[in-house]
Amino acid sequence: MDTPDKPNNIEGHDRLQTKLKGLLKHINCTEDLFHMNAYIGKRIPLAGVAHQNGTLRFGADPKRSVLDTHCKTHEIDNLYVVDGSFFPSSGAMNPALTIMANALRVGDHLLERMK
């Protein structure tokens, strides 16, 4: 059984590191240009993962997505999701400002819809 202190998914982590190192080498990027220790080899414990997203795909096709392009569920007319769930994935940056901007966009849509 995995515990919070015991690393897991080591094989996937190692493959990801190898891929990143290969891509950086391919473009002649050295540690002088990119501080590789910032990403390669870092393991964040479960409690440190704060930018979860990508749990609810959005799109026009209800067979391939849960939310429409206004972040409204296809199945329920008055259910909107404006957190990070609609993101397909997250980069290394904090997504809070993008989440806020999307919530404002969806809010504008709701105001128009209620007119």
Q: Residue 104: what residue type? A: L
Determine which one of 13, 26, 35, 51 is catalytic. 51
For residues 33 and 61, state if they share a domain. no
CA-CA-CA-CA torsion sign (59, 65, 68, 70)? negative
Closest-CA residue to 26 (of 38, 37, 35, 18): 18
Tokens at residue 1, please? Answer: 């059984």
For residues 44 and 61, state if they share a domain. no
Q: Please indicate whether residue 70 is annotated as part of the active site.
A: no
83-112, pLDDT tens digit by residue?
A: 988 887 777 678 888 899 999 999 999 999
Residue 99: domain span: 50-115
Number of domains in the chain: 2
pTM given for the model: 0.58
> What is the per-residue pLDDT for 21?
81
